[in-house]
Structure 1
Amino acid sequence: MKNSGFAAAHLGMLIWALLIAASFSAAAQISQAIDPVLLTGLRLLVCALMFLPLLLVKGDTAMTARGLFGHATLGLLLALYFGSLFEALRYTSAVNTGTLFTLVPLLTLLFEALLVPDSSLKQRVLPMLIAAAGAVLLILKGAGPGERPSLYAVSVYGVGCLAMALYSPLSQRLKTNSFKGRGPVGMTFWNMLFGAVFLLVLCGFTGGWRSASLLTLSDVCWLIYLALFATLATFWLLHRAIGVIAPSSVISYIYLSTLFITLFHWLRRTPLPQEIIGALLVGIGMLALLLSSRRAVPATVQG
């Protein structure tokens, strides 16, 4: 692997973390009366449609039955994650779901060991644990005294976290057979299209589609912004990095996103001691992870 490809992949994921962090403020601008599953389904659909012209220009539309099944599986994992998140948020707080999400990179490492094993796996365990501990400190600053998530919420969102953890390693595994030769544009388009279909079908059963009548022009503009920058760009950067750096290293950038959100808050208030310790742990863990992934040899090289 060339150093330029390695550097570009990590720089892309740094931008990914910034875009994810900025998306929370943008998402808050959309009316809370609109069904969140419907909004996510529309975001994925808009993104897929935006990628369609580029897909046609690149001529990456050929699809085998195995490839179609693979994209449907990855799209289902996306739908499972977002569906479980919104269901869990009905019974617990964003703080609790955020804390549980810190397990996703570690679960990704487990799936990576099963699907795309390599000799550098053990080197990433300690850095990820350090970064995860820091992220937990940053997230738990908003927890109320005695606040505990319900068993139902943990179970439902736990399934979603497993789905998200499986997404990156399975993507890399499929790149070596069913998706061989398929670039980030094709991967992003088909996965998002299937994810959107599954979520919109779910809205049809739950009745969430009725809230579409509440969409205003402002909501539509923010939806397009989120689709373009918080979904389309981030998923393209994600698939661009998968195969160049290990899947667990890729998803670990969510810890850096948590740090960026905290840094944004520091612009308006004085940081708490707990936040400073958490920020330092995230920084140390991500630096160690960067160094360990630089020594690793990737299973596949992104084309």
Structure 2
Amino acid sequence: MLATTLVAGSFLASANLAGLINPFSLTLLRFTGAVSLLLPFILVTKKWRNKVLRTLPRSMVISLFYSVFFIFQFEALKITTALNTGTLYTLVPFITAVLCVLVFKDKIKVKQLMIYLLGALGTCWVIFGGDLSRLVDFSLNSGDLLFIAGCFSMCCYSISMKRLYRGDELIVMVFSTLLGGCIWMGVALWLSGLPLEWHLIQGESVFYMAYLVVGATLMTVYLYQKTTVALGPTRVMAYIYMNPAVVALLSLLVNGQSINLQVIPGILLSASATLLLQRQANVSKT
């Protein structure tokens, strides 16, 4: 839940940086900043330093899925809207569960399918502001299809964290994954031909960038890695249903933006779905 809150905060921070520099450069700076913070600890600790090269090949695969999601998201937003991508992102928990059936031989019961539907309904309710007409008008375009491909990549990111885990030191795995992210986003930026423009981040923007580096990148990757290995991809991705609700709550606390009463039922549905999925997972273990 902490990781979900940190990710939700990244939407507010990113909104304040939007238009300042291109998204590829922004994401590369997030990864580079996080790597720079971890690098001294890796260098001074011999056992961690010696394990980086051995961990890096697997981390490159993990970070590839993570980076591809961002790349597809940026490309999709050139064609589609944030509303559409926010709605389609609710597919991630269900897709993750389906892929876990194929990879880990997990089972999905009818009750679980209904809970996933409940969660998707709740998040869509929040995203569309409780306005049924906006939901009816929703339609897919080529950008949406591109983003759906990105959602599959995000699911693979979660699954690969557990599938490729070999009892590694957590800090080494996180460092290697972030380093891989730097490499992949660097390649994407180079291919796009866009400039870095990091010098444009000044004044208040430095604070928002610091949050993205520490909270939304370093801490989030650490928490996702730790919880995915312990709980499994399905349970971790289920918290995505809470994302729109947490964004709304943070907007209230940070920006004083009131929460529309029409979205309250959606928030309650999302929270219920998340809790039910966690409870269902606990029952399955016993």
Distance verdict in 2 for CA 1:33–1:281, change over 3 Å: same
Contact kept, 8 Å, 1:95 with 1:142, in 2: the verdict is no
> Would the alpha carbon gap of residues 86 and 63 (structure 1) be closer, same or farther in structure 2, given more than 3 Å must change?
same
The reply on whether 1:288 has 2:280 as its aligned counterpart is: no
Q: What pairs up with 1:144-183 in 2 under 5 angstroms? A: 145=134, 148=138, 151-175=141-165, 180-183=166-169
CA contact (8 A) 2:12 2:251 kept: no
Q: How do residues 81-120 of structure 1 correspond to structure 2 at under 5 angstroms?
A: 81-118=69-106
Partner of 1:269: 258
Q: Secondary structure at the match of 1:209?
A: coil
Counterparts of 1:58-97 in structure 2, within 5 Å, are 59-63=47-51, 67-97=55-85
Worse-superposed segment, 204-213 or 15-24: 204-213
Query: Unaligned regions of 5+ residues in structure 2, if any?
Result: none
Q: Would the aligned equivalents of 1:48 and 1:188 in 2 still touch at CA under 8 Å?
A: no
Task: Confirm whether residue 35 of structure 1 aligns to residue 22 of structure 2.
Answer: yes
Change (3 A) 1:95 1:142: farther
**Aligned CA distance change for structure 1 residues 22 and 67 (closer, same or farther; 3 Å):** closer
Distance between the aligned counterparts of 2:204 and 2:61, measured in 1? 34
- CA distance in structure 1 between the partners assigned to 2:274 and 2:99 by the alignment: 20
Task: Quote the Cα distance in structure 2 between the aligned partners of 1:241 and 1:282.
Answer: 20
When structure 1 is superposed on structure 2, of 108-117 and 142-151 the one drifting more is 142-151
> In the TM superposition, what whole-angstrom CA distance separates every residue of 1:151-195 from its partner, at most 9, and x where no partner exists?
3202221211110011111211111xxxx1213322221111111
Task: Kindly indicate whether residue 46 of structure 2 is the aligned counterpart of residue 46 of structure 1.
Answer: no
Q: Please list every run of at least 4 consecutive aligned residues from structure 1 whose deviation after the TM superposition is greater than 6 angstroms.
A: none
After superposition, give the CA deviation of every residue in 1:56-99 in whole Å (9 maximum; x if it has no partner).
Answer: 43723345887433211111111110011111111111110000
Moved more, 92-101 or 50-59: 50-59
The structure richer in helix per residue is: 2
Kindly indicate whether the alpha-carbon contact (under 8 Å) linking 2:25 and 2:196 is maintained by their aligned counterparts in 1: no
Alpha-carbon distance, 1:134 to partner: 0.5
Q: Aligned-pair distance for 1:17?
A: 1.6
Distance change in 2, residues 1:212/1:286 (3 Å): same
Contact 1:188 1:235 in 2 (8 A): yes
TM-score norm. by structure 1 comes to 0.83
CA drift of 1:246 comes to 2.2
- C-alpha distance in structure 2 between counterparts of 1:207 and 1:108, whole Å: 33
Aligned-residue RMSD, C-alpha: 2.6
Matches of 2:196 and 2:60 in 1, distance apart?
A: 26
- Residue by residue over 1:76-132, the C-alpha shift from the partner in whole angstroms, topping out at 9 and shown as x without a partner, is 11111001111111111111000011101111111111112235x436433222112
How high is the sequence identity, in percent, across the aligned residues? 29
Q: Deviation at 1:149? A: 5.7
